[in-house]
Structure 1
């Protein structure tokens, strides 16, 4: 009876150790290969190195697609896919003002879609309220001068939420009180 060979999974430590053997041109070549391998890698590298003026647009596009799908083309909404875009930005660059912008944008798009199509989905609304709270937490980490514009946008989301029910407006109002005015 042959003993089965177990193969150790490659870890980041193994990869990192191999990188020490690369020279400058080798590392640039490796980054080029990663860049051309996938659009996600391109978005990540653009955000990290900021060659574009609007590094948030590639992250806003999927949020918009997944939270305001084209109903005429039978596209569905997906909270998980929209949140993935925010997580990808956080991994790529994670600047506090960028995270706040993406989270507030998420709330605006999710609520706008809900109102426009008359969505009746309690789990969608629960995710919206959770993101609203995360946006408030992100705003709290910003310098005082950056907070008012984000807060005004969230207050607008809260005002519009009265049209959807499910206790969304009450939950958002409670969160606004809890996290303070930030004016």
Structure 2
């Protein structure tokens, strides 16, 4: 059973500043997500950059570990992205991590061959999310357009309808892609 936000606020209003500080410090000590959230909130971009690189390394480790064999725990890799987003609220770096996840999936399947339907469904869904974010924000698209095109050029050998899903359904749904295509014709 969880306490409701309204009840939590009522309880917290009854605490004095010292008790609130003790509660927050106890939460900080007991929960890594709270540590990351408070660190990024109070220490800013420097911490966010460190968390970004740590998350990127964890994602890569699921596909191409420095030691041992790949784990391919896609759920774990996606959880890391979600945890980063919650801790930092950094939209651009979160989309960057999502795109990195897709890049790792593409690289893995091109390195080792056919995987399975669940793997490709995860890849396509993540690419869909990236495409939606890039369609919503032209600056995001501009920041990632080269990497998006690189993915497009590397999915041609993947089966399971991945190429069609990524290119036709997702990539060309990005408004800014069409503008670039028109500029390329000139």
TM surpasses 0.5: yes
Matched, 1:33 2:29: no
Question: Structure 1 residue 53: deviation in Å?
Answer: 5.1
2:142 alignment partner in structure 1: 148
**Deviations for 1:68-114, whole angstroms, at most 9, x for unmatched residues?**
15396345212211221222233333332122212111111121122
Match for 1:43 among 21, 33, 36?
36
1:76 alignment partner in structure 2: 71
Normalised by the length of structure 1, the TM-score is 0.80
Runs of 4+ with deviation above 4 angstroms: none
Alpha-carbon separation, structure 1, partners of 2:65 and 2:48: 28
**Deviations for 1:31-54, whole angstroms, at most 9, x for unmatched residues?**
222122133332232334425250
Normalised by the length of structure 2, the TM-score is 0.79
C-alpha RMSD of matched pairs (Å) = 2.5
Question: Structure 1 residue 25: deviation in Å?
Answer: 3.1
Larger helix proportion, structure 1 or 2? Answer: 2
Gaps of 5+ in 2: 181-186
Alpha-carbon separation, structure 1, partners of 2:33 and 2:70: 21
SS of 1:13's partner is helix
Cα pair 2:33 2:87 within 8 Å, conserved: no
Match for 1:60 among 56, 63, 66?
56
SS of 1:151's partner is helix
Alpha-carbon separation, structure 2, partners of 1:167 and 1:43: 38
Alpha-carbon separation, structure 2, partners of 1:65 and 1:45: 26
Gaps of 5+ in 1: 1-7
Q: How many residues align?
A: 174
SS of 1:149's partner is helix
2:184 alignment partner in structure 1: none
Bigger Cα displacement from structure 2, 148-157 vs 20-29: 20-29
